């Protein structure tokens, strides 16, 4: 990650900033930070997570799933993260509500796919930030180890191996998939 702007900005200013299209950017404590684009495998796993949740939502209309959409995690100074996959319940994002910028409510569930250059220290800080912002469940998906670590409040982590069944009963009642399906 590289800081690219010296001027502290708000989430609203960040949304309207014209950024080069050569990577991903997040706003961390008011500073724009560049992250190289993730690799091909990352994209496949990200799509598999979004697809699994979207498939579930087609028959269980309880919320919406998005990828790479900004989520405000802190204010003053502002932080806007770009979770790989975010799920919003209809309570946090009612059907029919159109959000053009960043939604003011945190997602119910966030999934982050590990990339080879992700720092474990930075990732733990990001998970704590999501939970502190009100995200109820964070999945950290590791394609190398083929594991999914599930974080919930109070800070608790459960590591699921590839043969385990992934659920999120508190936010996606009745949802399940084999962790291995995210890596196929």
Report pLDDT digits (tens) over 128-161.
999 999 999 999 999 999 999 999 988 799 999 9
> Would you state the structure tokens that stand for residue 13, as one six-digit string?
């200013």
Among 116, 50, 145, which residue's Cα sits nearest to residue 88?
Answer: 50
Residue 65 β-bridge partners: 87
Mean pLDDT across the stretch 3-13?
Answer: 76
Mean pLDDT for 156-173 is: 96
User: In the prediction, which pLDDT does 36 show?
Assistant: 82
Contacts of 57-61 with CB under 8 Å at 24 or more apart are 60/172, 60/173, 60/174, 60/175, 61/90, 61/95
80 pairs with which residues across the strands? Answer: 27, 72
Instruction: Supply the pLDDT for residue 114.
Output: 93
The domain limits of the chain are: 38-182
Q: CATH says 38-182 is which class?
A: alpha beta
What's the rounded Cα separation, in Å, for the pair 125 and 18? 27
Rounded Cα gap, residues 9 and 124, in angstroms: 24
The pLDDT of residue 2 is 53
Residue 25: the pLDDT is: 85
pTM of the model: 0.90
Query: With bands split at pLDDT 50, 70 and 90, how would you rate the model's confidence at 4?
Result: low
Report the chain's mean pLDDT, rounded to a whole number. 91
Confidence of residue 16 (pLDDT cuts 50, 70, 90): confident
How far does the chain reach from its first CA to its final CA, in angstroms?
29
Instruction: Give tens-digit pLDDT for 71-113.
Output: 999 999 999 999 999 999 999 999 999 999 999 999 999 999 9
């Amino acid at each position: 990650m590289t800081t690219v702007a010296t001027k502290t900005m708000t989430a609203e200013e960040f949304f309207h900033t014209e950024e080069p299209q050569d990577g991903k950017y997040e706003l961390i404590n008011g500073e724009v930070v560049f992250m190289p684009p993730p690799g091909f495998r990352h994209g496949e796993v990200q799509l598999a997570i979004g697809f699994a949740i979207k498939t579930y939502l087609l028959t269980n209309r309880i919320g919406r799933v998005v990828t790479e959409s900004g989520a405000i995690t802190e204010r003053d100074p502002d932080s806007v993260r770009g979770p790989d996959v975010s799920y919003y319940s209809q309570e946090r994002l009612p059907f029919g509500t159109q959000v053009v910028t960043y939604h003011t409510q945190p997602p119910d569930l966030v999934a982050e796919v590990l990339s080879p250059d992700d720092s474990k220290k930075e990732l733990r800080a990001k998970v704590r930030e999501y939970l502190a912002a009100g995200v109820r469940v964070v999945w950290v998906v590791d394609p190398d180890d083929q594991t999914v670590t599930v974080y919930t409040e109070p800070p608790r982590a459960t590591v699921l191996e590839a043969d385990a069944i992934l659920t999120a009963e508190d936010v996606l009642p009745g949802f399940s998939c084999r962790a291995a399906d995210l890596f196929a």
